[in-house]
Structures are given as structure tokens and as C-alpha cells.
Amino acid sequence: MEVRDKLYIDGAWVAPVGKEAIEVVNAGTEEVMATIPAGSVEDADRAVKAARAAFDSWSQTSLEERLKYLTRIQEGLGARMADLANVIAKEVGMPINLANLIQVGLPIADFASTASVAGEVVWEERIGSSLVVKEPVGVVVAITPWNYPLHQIAAKVAPALAAGCTIVLKPSEVAPLNAFILAEVIDEVGLPAGVFNLVSGSGPVIGEALASHPDVDMVSFTGSTRAGKRVAELAASTVKRVALELGGKSANVILDDADLKTAVTRGVADCYLNSGQTCIALTRMLVPRSRLAEAEEIAAAEADSYTPGDPFADGTRIGPLVSAPQRERVRSYIKKGIDEGAKLVTGGVEAPDGLGKGFFVRPTVFSDVRPEMTIAQEEIFGPVLSIMPYDTEEDAVAIANGTTYGLSGAVWSADPERAKKVARRLRTGQVSVNGGAFNPAAPMGGYKQSGYGREYGRYGLEEFLEVKSLQL
């Protein structure tokens, strides 16, 4: 078992104030794989003070110098790619081949792409008698989730560093080991002391202390809508800038002229990626009522091909959920769907055959799901697909927009212009049109209770910048 007993503060690995530890559990075996420090309010304060002290000098370094450090971090992560994939596959449960590609490949790409993104920012411009300049917002707290742990860290750390901000990172205590590896890489490349700090611990202790700290200028949070509301409430006491990327209940609108087999097959994949533990998962599949039975048949066959298994076994397409509480949460939603009268097409609350250990659930498909049902309104965060029939295009748009969320979505049509027209009507931060792939250089963020602010690309970097007018 790995023991992590130090925090990374002010350019050094230091002992926490207290002696308490948090256990990290292997999602596939249910065994304790590591322990990390349960940081205290005092540890959070030390980290913020280090970031504040480092800000003046770091913010004045040239953009070229800051980007050189990002390149070194990218290279350091590349050298640790196998270690990172192995760790995250155990922490989160994503199959190892996908973990290598997605959980590690995307974060490395985030650091690599920041240089070109920084070149797109208009750092200074003349407006009449004024010179308008963009400057770093200051000390940034990054609070990150467990589902794509390193990717969500990189999406905040890379642009914040490029902007000239200093950072205190509070990773999820459920999947934190990858963050410690990143801190080792940052230490090795010689980033100036205090520019990056890592404090592990629980949200109610460390997260709340950081979000309310008077010396923090901005909080960038990714997680549940409930927790995001709490972060915004705490940050409001000192009028901090806040960026929130929260929950989703994304609709996959399949229009009546679409290739149903392609759209449904891709839709199941987009629902089940990372065992459904994806904020932009397409969990609501909207199909013409006349083609409902056909969609059910295609979805069932595809879902049944996602046999749960060991993340390290050859051919595993879907791994376990991240934890026992998450498994129970997902099973409770499956039961709720059955109790409220949705048609169970495949899956269910029972444990998958032959998997006595690990936080596994059956990939599940419901049909005849009505918009008012719990499984159509609340984020489940597991491999549970709700197929919802509609009668007209207007009906489909209304159903798609009929939740408190607005993070992602999709539209399928044989006519690309029709698909784009419908996509423009969806109240959501991004929409895949006819299977358009996720683009890490394009902005991502939410409408409504899916949050505010944007991540990735130029828009993501500009979240960490203030605008100042010099009147000349």
C-alpha cells in the first residue's frame, strides 16, 4: 500500500499540521490502495499564504518564460504516462486502454496546447485614448472532481499558470494520487516556490477553508451542482471570482430522418463512457415515438455488449464505479426508475454476474421515460440510459430543454443544416452535431444550473485574466 504523508506547499514536500489520513480505495477490488493526508484549515492557510507571496514575482514573468514551464510539465507527465494510467484506472475504474488515452492523454494535451492558445489572446489593445491590458486574476484555488481527475486539474492549472496566476489545488480525496504525481513533476521542473501548491483533504474542511479565504482571488470548481452552490456562497463573502462546471442531464436528440442505428449506437457509447461517470454524458435519448421499439432493440443489444469487468483485463469495455456510495446511488436511481413506471429494457439493480468484488453495476437502459420522472431530471452519474419518445421536433426541443441543467447535448439528422438549426435551440453549453467529436480547444461550460464560466482553449485561459484600462 502506498503512503502519502506530505503536502506540497511553497516548493517543498511538508508534513501536514495533523496526523489524520484518508484511505484511497481501488474501485475494481475494493481494497485500500493508499492513504493521503487529511489536511487542516491551517494547511490550507499555509498554502494560500505561499501562493500570495509568490504571486508578485510570478505574475511579472514573461509569457514566454511561463510557457516554457508548461512544456516541461507536459514532458514530465509524458514520462510518467504509464504510472498515471495505472493509478487512475485503479482510482476511478476506467479500463486501462481508455485511461491511457483519455485520463492521461488529454491532460498532457492540455499543457501542450496552452502555448498556441496563449497566442490567441489579445493581451493589449488600444481603444481610443486607453490602453486595455489583460492581467492575471491573482491567487486561484482549483477544486477538482474524481471522474476525470488529472484532466480536470490540467484544465485549470495549465491556463492559470499561463495567465500568470499562482495556484492552490485541492484534488478530490476519492482519486487524489494522480495529483501527487503531478506535484512531483512540477517539483522536478523547478517551478518557483509557491506558484503551485497541493493540499489534500475533504471538501467540507479544505474546500470550504479555501473558498472562503480572504487572500484567494478566484475559485475554479468542478463537481456537483449542490457543492458548486456552496462554493459560490462561501466565495461571495469576499466577492471572489468563481467559475463553476457542474452537473448535467444531456439530451441526445435523434430526429426522424437520422440514421437510427448509428445514432443510437453512438448514443449508448456516449452515455456509458467512464461507466457513465461523465458530466457531459448523453443520458437522455430522444427518439421519434414511431421508432421507439426499433431504438430499444438497438440500444439493448449495444448495452449488453458492455460487459462489466476488471479495468486491467483485455477486452473490458466498462469498468466499475468509483466507490461504494456511488454504486448505491446509481442502484437507487435504477430502482426509482422501475418504481416510477419506466420500462426496463436491460440491466437492473442486481450485481453483474461473476463480479463479487468491485463497485460494479449493470449497464442499464430504460424506455418510455416521461419528462417528469426522476431518472429524466436528476443526474445519475452511472451507466443508465433513458430513452424518451417525442411526437414533433418542437416537442423534442422542449423535452431537451426541460431540466435545470444545460451542459451538453447532441443532435442527429440526415440534413446537417437541420441538425445545426435544432442544436442552436438547445439551452446548453455545447452540442455534438451528427457525432462531432469533443474538441479540447473549444470552450466548455454550462447554462442554467450546470454552472458559469468556460474551460479549455482561449476562453478557458481568459477566465483567469482581469481587464484593466490605462487612460492615456
C-alpha distances out from residue 136 to 52, 61, 130, 178, 214, Å: 13, 11, 19, 27, 17
* Class of the domain covering 251-439: alpha beta
* Per-residue pLDDT reduced to its tens digit, 353-410: 989 899 999 999 999 999 999 999 999 999 999 999 999 999 999 999 999 999 999 9
Supply the residues annotated as catalytic: 245, 279
Residue 59 pLDDT more than 90? yes
pLDDT for the residue numbered 356: 86
* Per-residue pLDDT reduced to its tens digit, 199-229: 999 999 999 999 999 999 999 999 999 999 9
Mean pLDDT of 85-99: 97
What would be the CATH architecture of the domain defined by 2-246+449-471? 3-Layer(aba) Sandwich (3.40)
| pLDDT band at residue 287 under the 50/70/90 scheme | very high
Count of alpha carbons within 13 angstroms of residue 299, beta-carbon side: 34
Specify the range with the lowest mean pLDDT, choosing from 156-160, 311-315, 331-335, 375-379.
311-315
- Asked if 220 and 463 count as a contact pair (C-beta separation under 8 A), the reply is yes
Residue 336 pLDDT more than 90? yes
- Asked if 11 and 187 count as a contact pair (C-beta separation under 8 A), the reply is yes
- What are the φ and ψ backbone dihedral angles of 346, each rounded to 5 degrees? -160, 160
Which residue blocks in 273-427 are alpha helix, DSSP H? 292-304, 324-339, 374-377, 393-400, 416-425
Q: How far apart are CA 225 and CA 149, in angstroms?
A: 17
Question: What is the pLDDT of the chain when averaged over all its residues?
Answer: 97
- Asked if 195 and 188 count as a contact pair (C-beta separation under 8 A), the reply is no
Predicted TM-score (pTM) of the model is: 0.96
- Asked if 195 and 12 count as a contact pair (C-beta separation under 8 A), the reply is no
How far from each other are the two terminal CA atoms of the chain, in whole angstroms? 62
pLDDT for the residue numbered 411: 98
Which candidate, 185, 213, 217, 215, places its Cα nearest to that of 198?
Answer: 185
Find the farthest-apart pair of alpha carbons in the chain and give their distance in angstroms, rounded: 73
Cell of 386: 433513458
Domain ranges, ordered by start, for the chain: 2-246+449-471, 251-439
